[in-house]
Structure 1
Amino acid sequence: MKPAIKVENLSKQYRLGTVGTGTFAHDVNRWWHTVRGKEDPYLKIGEANDRTSKGNSEYVWALQDINFEVKQGEVLGIIGKNGAGKSTLLKLLSRVTAPTTGSIKARGRIASLLEVGTGFHPELTGRENVFLNGAIMGMTKPEIRSKFDEIVAFAGCERYIDTPVKRYSSGMYVRLAFAVAAHLEPEILIVDEVLAVGDAEFQKKAIGKMKEVSQGGGRTVLFVSHNMASIEQLCDSCVLMENGSIKSVNTTSKVIEQYISMNLDKSSVSWKDRNDRKGDKKVLFEGISLFNNDNKKIDSVLTGQDLRIKISYSAIDKFSFNRVKISLGLRDSKGVLLFSCPSDIFNVGGILGLKGHLNLNIPNFPLPEGVYTYNIFIEVDKMVSDWIQEAGIITVVGGDFYKTGKLPPKSHPGVLINYNWEVLNK
Structure 2
Amino acid sequence: MSDLESTQDPRRAYDLDRAHVFHSWSAQAGLDPMVITKAEGPHIWDADGNRLLDFTSQLVYTNLGHQHPRIVAAIQEQAASLCTVAPGYVNGARSEAARLIASHTPGDLDHVFFTNGGADANEHAIRMARLHTGKHKVLSTYRSYHGGTQLAVNVTGDPRRWPSDNGSSGTVHFFGPFLYRSPFHSTTEAQECERALAHLEQVITLEGPGTIAAVVLESIPGTAGIMIPPPGYLTGVRELCDRFGIMLIADEVMSGFGRSGRWFAIEHDGVTPDLLTFAKGVNSGYVPLGGVAISDAIYETFAHRAYPGGLTYSGHPLACAAAVATIRTMEDDAVVENAARLGSDVIGPALRELSEQHDWIGEVRGTGCFWALELVADRDTREPLAPYGGSSPQMAAVLKACREEGLLPFANYNRIHVVPPLNIGDDEAREGIAKLGVALARARAAG
TM over 0.5: no
Q: Which has the higher strand share?
A: 1
- RCO (CA 8 Å, sep 6+): is it higher in 1 or 2? 2
> Larger Rg: 1 or 2?
1
Q: Which has the higher helix share?
A: 2
The TM-score normalised by the length of structure 1 is 0.30
The TM-score normalised by the length of structure 2 is 0.29
